């Protein structure tokens, strides 16, 4: 299960791990109930600190994608689809807020933003 991280990226490593695992879940590589490698083993493989892996696993748990059983390890546990959707929605919200903040800094007004948004949406569909 090769998780690949970019050590020079600005994206925190734990986030990269979370993203990789999310993709694996989406692709079906990881199914509900599958065990994730132990924290130490993954830390050793990726040559990073165990705390970083723990942070990644904790984040997955917060997002409702995994569950840690004390003493046994962490398992994929996609219980709460609603919770996952909520998390995803929140991520998008944060992204939109960042976008709006940027717009404010560049002094681009709201109408222009809306127009730009619709333009982009059209281009993609």
Interface with another protein by CB under 8 A: which residues? 8, 10, 12-14, 40-41, 43-44, 47-52, 55, 98, 101-102, 105
Q: How many CA atoms lie within 13 A of 53 on its CB side?
A: 20
- Comparing CB distances to another protein, the nearer of 10 and 82 is 10
- Comparing CB distances to another protein, the nearer of 13 and 76 is 13
Give the long-range contacts of residues 20-23, CB within 8 A, separation 24 or more.
21/56, 21/60, 21/65, 21/66, 22/65
- Least distance from C-beta 1 to another protein, angstroms? 17
- Least distance from C-beta 123 to another protein, angstroms? 24
Asked if 28 and 17 count as a contact pair (C-beta separation under 8 A), the reply is no
- Comparing CB distances to another protein, the nearer of 10 and 121 is 10
- Least distance from C-beta 102 to another protein, angstroms? 7
- Comparing CB distances to another protein, the nearer of 13 and 65 is 13
DSSP conformational letter for 35: B
Interatomic CA distance for residues 42 and 3, integer angstroms: 9
């Amino acid at each position: 299960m090769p998780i690949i991280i970019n050590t020079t990226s600005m994206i925190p490593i734990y986030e990269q791990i979370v993203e990789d695992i999310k993709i694996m879940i989406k692709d079906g590589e990881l199914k509900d109930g599958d065990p994730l490698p132990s924290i130490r083993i993954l830390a050793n493989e990726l040559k990073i600190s165990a705390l970083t892996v723990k942070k990644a696993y904790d984040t997955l748990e917060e997002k409702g994608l995994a569950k840690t059983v004390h003493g046994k390890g962490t398992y994929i546990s996609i219980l709460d689809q609603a919770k996952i959707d909520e998390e995803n929605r929140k991520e998008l919200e944060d992204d939109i807020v960042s976008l709006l903040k940027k717009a404010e800094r560049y002094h681009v007004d709201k109408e222009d933003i809306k127009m730009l948004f619709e333009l982009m949406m059209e281009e993609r569909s």
